[in-house]
Amino acid sequence: MTTAPTRTAPPDRPGPGADRRDPGGADQPDPGGTERPDHGGAERYALDVPTTTEEAVARATRLATDIAAGAAERDRDRLLPTRQLADLRAAGLLAITVPAVDGGPGLPPSTVAAVTAILAAADPNVAQIPHSHFVYLNLVRLAAPEALRRRVNAAILAGSQIANAQSERGGATVAAIATTLTPDHSSAEAGSGFLLNGDKFYCTGSAFADILAVLARSTEDAHGLPAGEYVAIVPADAAGVVIEDDWDALGQRTTASGTIRFRDVRVGADALIPRTAAVSAPSGYGAFAQLLHAAIDVGIAEGALAAAAAFVREKSRPWFEADVERAVDDPLTVQRFGELQVTLVAARSALDAAGRAVDRAVAVPGEQTSADASLAVAAAKVLADRAATEIPSALFEVAGTRSAVAGSGLDHFWRNGRTHTLHDPVRWKYQHLGRWVLRGEAPPLHGVI
């Protein structure tokens, strides 16, 4: 038995949205009672999508000024960035990776990383929300059946957004998946479909999504598909989907990374993507996902250093022993800013190099290019993690006691950096890098390296 879709409304949620195109195949109106962001659906958007890296970067840079202006207040009051996400959609930035064969510009991973870092310097919450959108569009490109790929990409070009429903609570490890796909025998019409059941957490961006990419396991061969792990492409307003805005964390507070519950959600066999085809092949899939995480961390570091410099220029006082009139002339403060700049430049340079390596792995997939990309991204991730935690912490060191006043709004840089860098442990990046150096052992293919 299916239930009507529901979702709890976040603090700044507008009213119900309009009809939107179901990427699983059917046209399906948004049922009454479901509150959704009024960002427009397939019938509302005719996106002007950037076709070059320069254009995408320019649009992101223009948006970043407005995004940064309210970041501290949104963090303080936990106001979801609904308008900011609508602006990203309207700017066409969520469609930049749609491949040319499906009508998009097919911009490379390095461009997505550049856009992500710019947005993260302004507000890493806004930057993280579309992370899974781009990752699952990459999965669609690599492994979706052609008809499903075309439907999903058409929806993206019309302004739709994807959110992930991947991680779960309670498993032995983060890789344990309890959400199931079972054959649907409830009616003759449902004879070629499945029922999706399970609970997901850390579903970043779910409050804004039109489409959910749901990782689940089928325990038996059915409808021509072998048992295994699949990503189900599910409309966010499908019957049986419950999206809860219950994310409550130290940082990244406005990413809408809450719970989604699936109760007998009907999924057609033609809406399933076998995950193994992307994750277990040398395709650069994991390197691309990790590249964007590194970009978020670099952006956090850049935003924190800029905020620290502005505070010191405008508000800090020099230490009396420096015998100078301005904090910017204190030689020890100048020294520390130089050290922090080196940390940032190293992380930024590693990110740029990793972006080029991932571009090569995507353009010419193979064992060598995939390994090179994963190793380059691993190094970038280590340096970005270091920058995203060291620089926001040092912000208070260089800015002085005044910066610790509750109303300064500077603490969100550290909280965001500390929270986001917990996504996956950098100590395992060192491990894979060391194995390569000592034993020539290529990184594993599991989607997180």
Instruction: Select the more confidently predicted residue: 449 or 434.
Output: 434
Amino acid 98 reads V
297 with 121: CB under 8 angstroms? no
Q: CA 121 to CA 144: how far, in whole Å?
A: 33
138 with 285: CB under 8 angstroms? yes
Q: Is pLDDT at 36 greater than 80 in this prediction?
A: no
Q: Helix/strand/coil (H, E, C) string of 36-69?
A: CCCCCCCCCCCCCCCCCHHHHHHHHHHHHHHHHH
Q: How many CB atoms lie within 10 A of CB 329?
A: 12
Q: CA 49 to CA 351: how far, in whole Å?
A: 25
Q: CA 237 to CA 5: how far, in whole Å?
A: 6
Domain residue limits, the chain: 6-278, 280-439
Nearest to 373 by CA among 143, 110, 137: 110
Q: Report the DSSP beta bridge partners of residue 199.
A: 261
pLDDT digits (tens, 9 = 90+) for 106-158: 999 999 999 999 999 999 999 999 999 999 999 999 999 999 999 999 999 99
In which residue are the tokens 């990752």 written? 135
The arithmetic mean of pLDDT across residues 186-211, rounded, is: 88
- Please provide the size of the chain in residues: 449
Q: CA 18 to CA 163: how far, in whole Å?
A: 19
Q: Report the DSSP beta bridge partners of residue 241.
A: 262
Instruction: Determine which helix (DSSP H) or strand (DSSP E) holds 343, and give its type and residue range.
Output: helix 331-363
Identify the band that residue 14 occupies on the pLDDT scale cut at 50, 70 and 90: very low
In which residue are the tokens 């499945």 written? 194
pLDDT digits (tens, 9 = 90+) for 265-320: 999 999 999 998 888 899 999 999 999 999 999 999 999 999 999 999 999 999 99
Identify the band that residue 424 occupies on the pLDDT scale cut at 50, 70 and 90: very high
Q: Give this prediction's pTM.
A: 0.90
The arithmetic mean of pLDDT across residues 68-82, rounded, is: 96
In which residue are the tokens 């060291």 written? 390
CB burial class (10 A; 0-12, 13-18, 19+) of residue 410? buried
Q: Is pLDDT at 324 greater than 70 in this prediction?
A: yes
pLDDT of residue 33: 30
Nearest to 429 by CA among 397, 365, 367, 384: 384
Nearest to 200 by CA among 261, 153, 139, 135: 261
Q: Is pLDDT at 102 greater than 90 in this prediction?
A: yes
Nearest to 304 by CA among 391, 174, 215: 391
Q: Specify the range with the lowest mean pLDDT, choosing from 133-137, 224-228, 348-352.
A: 224-228
The sign of the torsion formed by the CA atoms of 262, 268, 273, 276 equals positive
**The tokens of 374 are what?**
């994963």
Give the Å distances, CA to CA, from 105 to 46, 52, 82: 15, 8, 26
Distance between terminal CA atoms of the chain? 40
Q: Is pLDDT at 44 greater than 60 in this prediction?
A: no
Average pLDDT value over all residues in the chain: 90
Amino acid 21 reads R
* Residues ≥6 apart with Cβ < 8 Å to 29: 19
The arithmetic mean of pLDDT across residues 217-230, rounded, is: 92
Amino acid 377 reads V
CATH 2.40.50.100 fits 280-439, yes or no: no
6-278: what CATH class? mainly beta
